[in-house]
Amino acid sequence: MASTSGAAQVLVASNRGPVSYEVREDGSLRAKRGGGGLVSGLSAIGPDAGALWVCSALGDGDREAVRRGVGETGVRMLAIPADVHADAYNGIANSVLWFVHHMLYQTPLEPVFDAEFRRQWASYETYNRAFAEALAEEAAEGAAVIVQDYHLALVPGMLRDLRPDLRIGHFSHTPWAPPEYFRMLPDDIAGQLLRGMLGADRLGFLTHRWADAFTACCAEFAGGLGDTRIGVHGLGADADFLRRRSHEADVTERMAALRQEIGEGRRAIVRVDRTELSKNIVRGLLAYGQLLDDHPEWRERVAHVAFAYPSRQDLAVYRDYTAEVQRVAEEINERYGTPGWTPVVLHVKDDFARSLAAYRLADVALVNPIRDGMNLVAKEVPVVSDEGCVLVLSREAGAYEELGEDAIAVNPYDVTATARALHAALTMGPEERAERTKRLVAAATALPPAQWFLEQLQSLRAAV
Ligand code: F6P
């Protein structure tokens, strides 16, 4: 049993860390820093708070950085063997746990829990154990540890065994599956996952719906929650950062280019997603096509700006989905397009400044996931849009819990109803649009990232 007390007072653990490395042609390493809620949260507690972020090396550059001993203060990158990481991340986290919590399986043929699954599960255990051991080594006596996401569901239980003195929290950024779906997992695996999570003092979720689903799974498969507390922290948009960043020169430049692509005077229905199977981009395109059929008056007067950025391209099913998005977009452009009008403006190469440009130009934001932990785009577009925008929002997105009243809600599977919602959004009067945007912005910014993190930390320290 490792019982070394390190120096860190606040520890965060996540698969993807705040920095990644690339080996340049000359052999030197280039560090790339990321953003997001945890980065803001940790900067809010200040550099002297004794914080440490434990993350995994993801690519070759990261592994090389670990090998050379290159790193950032406050970050410890774990060089978990590449094959173990691939099994844990691609095999279990993204192909099983993500699919279960987002309810993505095409059940007549999948999932198949066979010997290969068991082999990958062993890697998932190894990978979780590497995190638990590193945290146990680095944490000061009584320190607070907040573990992130489904990649690390076993860490709280493992860490509890190694260091019973710690305050252990876990936060889920995804939905949690309801018991009827969760029970698809082999019984022993389901039990191991729940017991792993219940090793924490406190578990955080993005909405009450996901927290209730977890509680229901525990009631059914783990004999209840035991001493573990549950909290809901609805991560909000970082309004200050977004407003400032979206007025920088590169964004203004991209606005001009995008305005040209859309066409002067045309309305813009905007969506920006990582191309996850759960985002429902294809049905969004079909709904847009249906709108052009049902309301030909919109032809040449509107464009659908769809940014579908690459995600998890190691997985064939993700690559196929991206191809399908491109195919359907092209089909719509061929069918309805005219020499002066491209109905769908699709981009698949990630460009943050261009995303902000699209947010600023948006008349309508389309956020129609089949299931989503929160969906920050739904919160960001109203904050950034120059003229205010109408939000067409899936009732299956976590953001619906906070934004539902001022959005136009859709059943994400109902393409006809989504087309109707787009029409309603495009025809909404300016006063109602402004009023709704004001309320959407207030709800979207109620819990900015830094506060979201501090709130969890305080609740964890207060949990007995
Ligand atoms: O959006 C949900 C989420 O689990 C985030 O918490 C996390 O950053 C991301 O998905 C993981 O994505 P990736 O596989 O690209 O690291």
174 close to ligand 1 (CB < 6 Angstrom): yes
Contacts within 8 Å (CB) and 24+ apart, 244-249: 245/356, 246/356, 246/357, 246/359, 246/360, 246/384, 248/353
User: What pLDDT is stored for residue 1 in this prediction?
Assistant: 41
16 touches ligand 1 (CB under 6 Å) = yes
b/e code 230-264 from CB counts within 10 Å (16+ = b): bbebbbbbbbeebeebbeeeebeebbeebeeebbe
State the closest ligand 1 atom to the C-alpha of 148, by its place in the atom list counted from 1. Answer: 6
Which helix (H) or strand (E) segment is 267 a member of? strand 267-274
- Please tell me if the CB atom of residue 151 comes closer than 6 angstroms to any atom of ligand 1: no
Residue nearest atom 5 of ligand 1, based on CA coordinates? 173
- 256 and 349 Cβ atoms separated by less than 8 Å: no
Instruction: Name the pTM for this structure.
Output: 0.96
Residue burial 322-346, b: 16+ Cβ < 10 Å; e: rest:
beebeebbeebbeebeeeebbbbbb
Distance 149 CA to ligand 1 centre (A): 8
Judge contact between 210 and 100, C-beta under 8 A: no
The best mutation among 14, 85, 146, 173 to test binding of ligand 1, ranked by most ligand atoms within 8 Å of the C-beta, falls on: 173
Nearest CA to ligand 1 atom 3: 173
How far is Cα 442 from Cα 410, in angstroms, rounded to an integer?
21
Ligand 1 pocket check for 173: Cβ under 6 Å: yes
Query: Ligand 1 pocket test: which of 94, 174, 272, 374 has the largest number of ligand atoms within 8 Å of its C-beta?
Result: 174
**Three-state DSSP class for residue 166:** coil
CA of 289 to the centre of ligand 1 (A): 30
Whose C-alpha lies nearest to ligand 1, atom 16? 16
Residues 92 and 84: their CA atoms lie apart, in Å, by 11
Q: Where are the alpha helices (DSSP H) in 55-202?
A: 60-68, 82-86, 98-102, 115-138, 155-162, 179-182, 187-197
**Ligand 1 pocket member 101 (CB < 6 A):** no
The pLDDT assigned to 37 comes to 78
Question: How distant is the alpha carbon of residue 372 from its chain centre?
Answer: 8
Name the CATH topology of 8-80+128-235+450-462.
Rossmann fold (3.40.50)
Mutate to test the pocket of ligand 1, among 15, 94, 235 (most ligand atoms within 8 A of CB): 15
Dihedral angle over CA of 416, 422, 428, 430, nearest 10: 180
The rounded Å distance from CA 19 to ligand 1 centre is 15
Q: Which pLDDT tens digits describe the chain residue by residue (464 residues)?
A: 444 568 999 999 999 999 999 999 999 999 999 888 788 888 888 788 889 999 999 999 999 999 999 999 999 999 999 999 999 999 999 999 999 999 999 999 999 999 999 999 999 999 999 999 999 999 999 999 999 999 999 999 999 999 999 999 999 999 999 999 999 999 999 999 999 999 999 999 999 999 999 999 999 999 999 999 999 999 999 999 999 999 999 999 999 999 999 999 999 999 999 999 999 999 999 999 999 999 999 999 999 999 999 999 999 999 999 999 999 999 999 999 999 999 999 999 999 999 999 999 999 999 999 999 999 999 999 999 999 999 999 999 999 999 999 999 999 999 999 999 999 999 999 999 999 999 999 999 999 999 999 999 999 999 75
The reply to whether ligand 1 has any atom less than 6 angstroms from the CB of 373 is yes
For 442, residues 6+ apart whose C-beta sits below 8 A from its C-beta are none
Would you say 45 and 461 are in contact if contact means Cβ atoms under 8 Å apart? no
Long-range contacts for 49-52 (Cβ within 8 Å, ≥24 apart)? 49/9, 49/10, 50/7, 50/8, 50/9, 50/10, 50/140, 51/8, 51/9, 51/10, 51/11, 51/12, 52/6, 52/8, 52/10, 52/11, 52/12, 52/76, 52/138
Indicate where the chain has its CATH 3.40.50.2000 domain(s).
8-80+128-235+450-462, 239-444
- CA 99 to CA 317: how far, in whole Å? 12
Ligand 1, atom nearest to 36 Cα: 8
Cα–Cα distance, 214 to 202 (Å, whole number): 13
For residue 206, what are the CA distances in angstroms to 230, 366, 376? 11, 21, 11
Q: Is 74:18 a contact under the CB 8 Å cutoff?
A: no
Supply the residue whose CA is at minimum distance from atom 7 of ligand 1: 173
Token pair of 345, please? 């403006």
Ligand 1 lined by 85 (C-beta under 6 Å): no
Q: Whose CA is nearest to atom 8 of ligand 1?
A: 16
Q: Which residue has the tokens 């769908």?
A: 344
pLDDT at 3: 45
Q: Is residue 391 within a helix (H) or strand (E), and if so which, with residue range?
A: strand 390-394
User: Going by CA atoms, what residue is nearest to atom 1 of ligand 1?
Assistant: 173
Distance (Å, whole) CA 296 – CA 292? 5
Look at residue 41 in the predicted model and tell me its pLDDT: 81
14 half-sphere exposure, CB direction, 13 A CA radius: 18
Residue 44: predicted pLDDT = 82
Atom of ligand 1 nearest to the CA of 15: 16
Q: What atom of ligand 1 comes closest to residue 16's alpha carbon?
A: 16
Residue 416 tokens, joined: 């006809």
Residue 401, amino acid: E
- Ligand 1 centroid from CA 215, angstroms: 23
Ligand 1 atom nearest to 98, measured from its CA: 4
CATH class held by domain 239-444: alpha beta
Ligand 1: centre distance to CA 313 (Å): 13
